[in-house]
Structure 1
Amino acid sequence: MASVGAQQGNGEENVIMSLPKERGWGAAPYFYLFQDFWCPSNYIQGVFNFQKFFQTKEDDVFVASFPKSGTTWLKALTFAIVKRQHFASVENHPLLTSIPHALVPSPELTMDADIYDQIGHLSQMTEPRVVATHIPYPSLPKSIMESSSRIIYICRNPFDTFVSAWTFSSKANSASSASLTLEEAFEMFCKGIVYFGPWWSHMLSYWQESKTNPNKVLFLKYEDLKEDINFQVKRIAEFLGCPFSEEEESNGVMESIIKLCSFEKMKDLDVNKFGSHFKIIDNKHFFRKAEIGDWINYFSPSMVEKLSKVIEQKLSGSGLSFKIQY
């Protein structure tokens, strides 16, 4: 955080120090309550810089998500759909040799000390650019909201989201993760203290915008993708203004994309089995189970009751709900 402060003064540092903070998860020593969401201490400078310096292009596509809600899958699908004219054959597709997070970067996770390098990298990406973010809708850079760029948002039922977040953070190379028990993490999650949380306000911010401005935000649920991937892939392509033609459908283009981006295919690739992302966590940990209902192996009856009440209270009247498989 000091590098940008040295260039621009210590305003950001002073703001950060004055924010409420809580114990963090995984590789984040602390979470700061920044603009009404809990921002990991190791990413807060990147969020500042993303908001200040990112310049949106009109044909940009953004993959927005609450962490551990199917982000990796949606990144792969969106990239393959948008770029399908560039890579006619899946045999030489970039997804075979690069983890989706490298092909679809998240500026707030990287725009820290190397901000100017990142700006250069983003400006050189082949258009249309596909970029990702975990930031809640109200805190996105103004240039995103004021442009004609489009946002695809994905969320997941909070039960599975919690389990995925806890197991993922416990594998990060951090001493704090080892001391964060399931019970401690659960209490924090129920209070909304989690990466880019509260999870309910994060989901609702994109949910409400998708209702107000359906041409700007497409709202997806992880469970819906699992239930009918063909329908959802068509829906994504149509939303982005690049629907599959009859010829593409008859030639199996959509099916090849779905297969290329499937959990089984991606998990078995060497690039996703070895190496690490941001030198924090092994690539293989981005591909755990991809199951619906795995939470039942972790939750006690009292935990089920408590989280159910939180969901009912926080989402009441919004029209947003989840099918929870007991």
Structure 2
Amino acid sequence: MSTLDPSFAQHLQEDQLIPEQYVDFISSLPTIGFYSQYRGFWFPTLFMQGVLSFQKHFQAHETDILMMTPPKVGTTWLKAILFAIVNRKNHLDLQKHPLLTNNPHILVPYLELHLYNKKEVPDLTPFPSPRLFSTHLPYALLPTSVKNSTCKIVYLYRNPKDTFVSLWHFLEKNGMTTDSFEETFDKFCQGVSSFGPYWDHILSYWKESLENPQRVLCLRYEELKEQPTIHLKRIAEFLGCSFSLEEETNGMINDISKLCSFDYLSKLEVNKSGTTHNMKIESLFRRGEVGDWVNYLTPQMSKKLDDIFKEKFHGTGLTF
């Protein structure tokens, strides 16, 4: 028997739900294909329970470092970078670094896709301080404890054209779509994509970074890829663990940059096969190139995305 009246299900706040009501609540949400719409954003239905549990139960610590991204913008790469920067004092020997034997998604777990999707209230006590977690949630949907804390948020975004192409390949490899490339593109333009609309996701963090630059750092994939050393220093300074002159002199920034590079990570055995968080590991490392979209999008598709983002980002200062 249903424990939730569909007539008010969509107006119920997630903190009012009890676990027995999650299934009914999720089934009451609008759906398209593999996605459910919740508070203006589209989420993979498979992870909706994790989203609700994370929102309801997660208690942020002031020392937490939270990595936020839309899907397919370089998430795996940034996880490696953040883990290496934050934990560099504990792993001075890069020949024995945890990234050599662990996929970055294991070292920096997703809150809603992994920890809270596996258990209503996971035990987070084993994670040492500063705790390093990641999520794909837009800023507006983060738990109140995160918004009210002084924890650091690092956000990464990417050119929407490369993001879409990468997302398409990822969905196809993981059996998460039955749509054609063109159908998936049309939905992306309508805002129907994982944790999208993409433009709303970016804007939610961009605006917060302008209002609270000491709490939210926004990074652009293309800039990080073009000048990794500069941005690794910037990240470390933002997190309050700046590289010392001695570390810079000894080449630590370059060493971390090389260790976390797409080329290096993608060639490691641990990143070539198997699955993690319901994803094929091989699908996490495709090409990582800037401008690869020209090989997939027609001129008409390209113009359509240009027009959408010019309209959505007009006057915000955001550019690609």
TM-score of the two chains, using structure 2 as the length reference:
0.92
Q: Sequence identity, in percent?
A: 45
Residue 299 (structure 2) aligns with: 301
2:94 is the counterpart of 1:96: no
The separation in 2 between residues aligned to 1:195 and 1:113, in whole angstroms, is 19
The separation in 2 between residues aligned to 1:228 and 1:206, in whole angstroms, is 22
Matches within 5 A, 1:210-225: 210-225=209-224
Cα deviation, residue 9, structure 1: 5.4
Give ranges in structure 2 of 5+ residues lacking alignment: 3-16
Residue 158 (structure 2) aligns with: 156
Residue 145 (structure 2) aligns with: 143
Q: What CA RMSD, in Å, does the superposition of the two structures yield over aligned residues?
A: 1.5
Cα deviation, residue 161, structure 1: 0.3
In structure 2, the CA distance between the partners of 1:9 and 1:101, relative to structure 1 (3 Å rule), is closer
2:84 is the counterpart of 1:86: no
Paired residue for 1:112, among 104, 114, 117?
117
Q: Which whole-Å deviations, capped at 9, do the CAs of 1:259-313 have from their partners, x for residues lacking one?
A: 11011110110000122113x3321211110100100000112111211111111
Q: Which whole-Å deviations, capped at 9, do the CAs of 1:30-88 have from their partners, x for residues lacking one?
A: 21111221011001000000011112111110110010001011110011000111111
Question: Which AA in structure 2 matches 1:284?
Answer: E
Paired residue for 1:168, among 167, 170, 175?
170
The separation in 1 between residues aligned to 2:97 and 2:223, in whole angstroms, is 26
2:210 is the counterpart of 1:229: no
Residue 11 (structure 1) aligns with: 21
Residue 68 (structure 2) aligns with: 64
Question: Which AA in structure 2 matches 1:209?
Answer: E
Question: Which AA in structure 2 matches 1:13?
Answer: V
Cα deviation, residue 206, structure 1: 0.2
Query: Number of residue pairs matched?
Result: 304
2:1 is the counterpart of 1:33: no
Give ranges in structure 1 of 5+ residues lacking alignment: 24-29
Question: Which AA in structure 2 matches 1:161?
Answer: T
Residue 184 (structure 1) aligns with: 183
Cα deviation, residue 15, structure 1: 2.7
Question: Which AA in structure 2 matches 1:310?
Answer: I
Residue 314 (structure 1) aligns with: 312
Paired residue for 1:43, among 29, 44, 47?
47
The separation in 2 between residues aligned to 1:13 and 1:282, in whole angstroms, is 26
The separation in 1 between residues aligned to 2:233 and 2:279, in whole angstroms, is 33
Question: Which AA in structure 2 matches 1:42?
Answer: L
2:266 is the counterpart of 1:267: yes
The separation in 2 between residues aligned to 1:9 and 1:100, in whole angstroms, is 30
Cα deviation, residue 150, structure 1: 0.3
Cα deviation, residue 232, structure 1: 0.4
The separation in 2 between residues aligned to 1:148 and 1:69, in whole angstroms, is 25
Paired residue for 1:21, among 31, 48, 51?
31
Q: Which whole-Å deviations, capped at 9, do the CAs of 1:132-153 have from their partners, x for residues lacking one?
A: 0100001111111111110000
Cα deviation, residue 113, structure 1: 4.4
Question: Which AA in structure 1 matches 2:308?
Answer: V
